[in-house]
Structure 1
Amino acid sequence: MATNPDAEIDHEGPVTPYRQLAEILRARIERGDWAEGRPIPSENRLVQEYGLARSTVRRAIAVLVDEGVVWTVQGRGTYVGQPDDDQAEQ
């Protein structure tokens, strides 16, 4: 599903909000909003920006982690791409 990186969440649509957010974030990464190895906005920022529950944002990020689009570092944030060997050990 090709999503507009500037799309808004459609709470009444057939696609669940977490899937919509995952697609929006993926589209923003592909557009180059965040470079490889750089952080995406925090969960709190995404909650505010998209008007979603924190659990919904976490679920969207988990989808992207499972797909290898982003990776997380506990207490630091979520980063674009895959971690280096040094970063994976942290």
Structure 2
Amino acid sequence: MAVIYLRDVIEPDGPVPPYLQLADILAGRIAREDWQPNRPIPSEFQLVQEFGVARGTARRAVAVLRERGLVFTVPHRGTYVAKAAPGPADEG
């Protein structure tokens, strides 16, 4: 279960690793539909600039989103929001 952060702020000394905090923040943006399916998410560089994290932290956060099935990466093009899986109300 993902933690929902009230502010989009990374707490570097918190109990949750920064890359997981960032992944949860980005997942929240996807869940709120701030970013639409098949549209790109910010680049690693943009995430580094916005959140003040290392590039490796941004990269690991995006990898977590890929593992969760929330995004997909197209080589040399970027990372995009995946289409939402149909929920129980959408089936049938």
TM-score normalised by the shorter chain: which range applies? 0.7 to 0.9
SS in 2 for 1:58: helix
- The answer to which structure has the higher helix fraction is 1
Unaligned runs of 5+ in 2: 84-92
> TM-score, normalization: structure 1?
0.85
* Structure 1 stretch displaced more, 17-26 or 73-82: 73-82
2:78 maps to 1:77? yes
Q: CA deviation at 1:7?
A: 2.1
> TM-score, normalization: structure 2?
0.83
Unaligned runs of 5+ in 1: 83-90
Larger Rg over CA atoms: 2
Q: Percent identity?
A: 55
**Which residue of the partner structure matches residue 57 of structure 1?**
58
**Cα-Cα RMSD:** 1.3
Q: CA deviation at 1:5?
A: 6.3
Q: CA deviation at 1:43?
A: 0.7
Partners of 1:37 and 1:24 in 2: CA distance = 19
Letter in 2 for 1:49: E
